[in-house]
Amino acid sequence: MKQIYTDRQTYRPTLFAFTVNQSISQRSLKYVERITNNILFSENSPLAFKFVQHFSENGLHFLYYTSWKTLGNMTSSLVEFGGMSRWANRKALVTGCSSGIGAVIAKDLVRYGVIVIGCARNVEKIDVLIKECEEAGYKGKLIPYKCDVGKSSEVEAMFEWLEKQHGGVDICVNNAGAGSMTPLLDLKGDEMSEILNINVVGLVLCSNLAVKSMLARNIDDGHIINISSMLGHIIIGIMNFYTATKHAVTALTKGLRMELAAKGSRIKVTQISPGRVETNFHPSIFGDAEKGRKFYESVESLTPRDVSDAVLHAISAPDNCQIYDIMLQPTNLGSPAAYATILKP
Ligand SMILES: NC(=O)c1ccc[n+]([C@@H]2O[C@H](COP(=O)([O-])OP(=O)(O)OC[C@H]3O[C@@H](n4cnc5c(N)ncnc54)[C@H](OP(=O)(O)O)[C@@H]3O)[C@@H](O)[C@H]2O)c1
């Protein structure tokens, strides 16, 4: 048995999970029941999940066991972040919301009653998320917007629309990102420009326009979240151009925070820096879905849930506490050199 989450407000355990690589013996279940005196579910079915949500929302502790992967990929978080209540009915932009990390962040925000504008190029994929939110009875709303954040004109048009239709945003999650396995020595200008425009220029422009919108409305508790990477902190010798853009995100996060502080603003800026996460990212940079799948099978990875929980933790922190950076790595990472070996094309 392994405790995986605690209630951030009181540090009392709220959720336990088991791995079910081997089936769990009745004896161990009884043992957990005895030591925790909690409610126990044994099935990873939508119905069981609804019960879990219900009990959780009513402040009861519960137990849940499933495989780590299933738990990580579940469409709804099982963790309650007490400080999230202040965001209900506020507006958030999540870029790159059509898959992976952005999709889970968007749904989590909707679960807490936030009105989320989710943008991506493949905007039709967001319709599936909207349906999931509606079926789960989430309090907030997810609104799709088609935008290529690598194109400044499209970002500017999106913020004009945001202002007119929704009166601006109070949270901006810069999540859209692109990577490449091409060595620096072989990179062409077009590929570099595309990655730079999405990971850096788009991120800065979205932050600028979100902050302008907040300042114009005297919003002093807004939050900019940059989904960076561990490659914003370390260099492993592959994906070097992507690494440079994520190092740029680290510099830009710190720079924006300083500019806002110099203005006397209390708008917070947080960077979340995950190591590898199981999403469409690696299949996409390998240009080979099967290779991507095998890669994730061969190494332990974070899940989008891990990253979204870090976002919720940052934005639910109390007013006096600004979280600068959360670094997350899979527990069994191995050395960066081992990671580089695995990733060799
Ligand atoms: N997966 C990892 O191992 C990992 C590790 C560290 C950091 N990250 C970072 O996490 C973020 C999310 O990636 P992910 O892992 O969730 O990958 P993903 O599943 O491939 O999702 C990427 C998202 O970004 C969107 N996107 C890409 N280019 C865009 C553009 N030009 N305009 C608008 N949206 C765009 C994609 O939507 P459309 O294609 O529909 O536009 C998609 O929704 C990225 O910033 C990535 O660098 C990922």
With a 6 Å cutoff on the Cβ, whether 232 touches ligand 1 is no
pLDDT tens digit sequence for 55-101: 454 444 444 434 344 444 443 344 567 788 899 999 999 999 999 99
Contact call for residues 84 and 10 (beta carbons, < 8 A): no
Ligand 1, atom nearest to 304 Cα: 16
Which residue among 104, 277, 301 has the greatest number of ligand 1 atoms within 8 angstroms of its CB, and so is best to mutate? 277
Tokens of 216: 């114009």
Contact call for residues 137 and 112 (beta carbons, < 8 A): no
pLDDT tens digit sequence for 208-228: 999 999 999 999 999 999 999
What does the alpha-carbon distance between residue 110 and residue 92 come to, in Å, rounded to a whole number?
Answer: 9
| pLDDT (average), residues 292-319 | 92
Give me the pLDDT at residue 176, please.
Answer: 98
What does the alpha-carbon distance between residue 202 and residue 243 come to, in Å, rounded to a whole number?
Answer: 17
Q: How confident is the model at residue 188 (pLDDT cuts 50, 70, 90)?
A: very high
Give me the pLDDT at residue 299, please.
Answer: 87
Fold annotation for 86-343: Rossmann fold (3.40.50)
Report the predicted TM-score, pTM, of the whole model to 2 decimal places. 0.81
Give me the pLDDT at residue 11, please.
Answer: 30
Least confident range from 23-32, 256-265, 288-297: namely 23-32
Any bridge partners for residue 328, and if so which?
Answer: 274
Ligand 1, atom nearest to 122 Cα: 40
Q: Using alpha carbons, select from 97, 212, 204, 217 the residue that is nearest to residue 160.
A: 212
Residue whose CA is at the smallest distance from ligand 1 atom 17: 281
Alpha carbon of 172 to those of 168, 225, 248: distances in Å?
10, 6, 18
**Percentage of the chain surpassing pLDDT 70?**
73
pLDDT tens digit sequence for 15-32: 343 333 334 445 554 544
Q: Is the pLDDT of residue 40 over 50?
A: no
99: number of Cβ within 10 Å: 19
341: number of Cβ within 10 Å: 11
Given the structure tokens 């913020």, which residue do they identify? 159
With a 6 Å cutoff on the Cβ, whether 98 touches ligand 1 is yes
With a 6 Å cutoff on the Cβ, whether 329 touches ligand 1 is no
Instruction: Tell me the CA–centroid distance for residue 252 and ligand 1, in Å.
Output: 19
With a 6 Å cutoff on the Cβ, whether 233 touches ligand 1 is no
Give me the pLDDT at residue 333, please.
Answer: 77
Supply φ then ψ for residue 272, to 5 degrees: -115, 125
Task: Please say if 242 is a catalytic residue.
Answer: yes
Q: What is the mean pLDDT of the chain?
A: 82
* From 64, 112, 242, 339, active-site residue: 242
Strands (E), 7-138: 13-17, 39-41, 62-64, 91-95, 115-120
Instruction: Tell me the CA–centroid distance for residue 175 and ligand 1, in Å.
Output: 6
Residue whose CA is at the smallest distance from ligand 1 atom 47: 177
If 0-12 CB within 10 Å is exposed, 13-18 middle and 19+ buried, where does residue 194 land? Answer: middle
Give me the pLDDT at residue 160, please.
Answer: 98
Q: Using alpha carbons, select from 289, 279, 282 the residue that is nearest to residue 98.
A: 279
Instruction: Tell me the CA–centroid distance for residue 218 and ligand 1, in Å.
Output: 31
Ligand 1, atom nearest to 99 Cα: 43
pLDDT tens digit sequence for 135-155: 999 999 999 999 999 999 999
What does the alpha-carbon distance between residue 296 and residue 281 come to, in Å, rounded to a whole number?
Answer: 11
Q: Using alpha carbons, select from 164, 94, 156 the residue that is nearest to residue 130.
A: 94
With a 6 Å cutoff on the Cβ, whether 274 touches ligand 1 is yes
Four-point Cα dihedral 248, 251, 254, 255, nearest 10: -100
With a 6 Å cutoff on the Cβ, whether 279 touches ligand 1 is yes
Instruction: Tell me the CA–centroid distance for residue 302 and ligand 1, in Å.
Output: 15
Close Cβ partners of 261 (under 8 Å, ≥ 6 residues apart) = none
What does the alpha-carbon distance between residue 172 and residue 116 come to, in Å, rounded to a whole number?
Answer: 10
Instruction: Tell me the CA–centroid distance for residue 119 and ligand 1, in Å.
Output: 11
In a 3-state reduction of DSSP, which class is residue 16?
strand
Alpha carbon of 327 to those of 231, 242, 270, 323: distances in Å?
10, 17, 11, 11
What does the alpha-carbon distance between residue 270 and residue 272 come to, in Å, rounded to a whole number?
Answer: 7
Give me the pLDDT at residue 198, please.
Answer: 98
Ligand 1, atom nearest to 228 Cα: 7
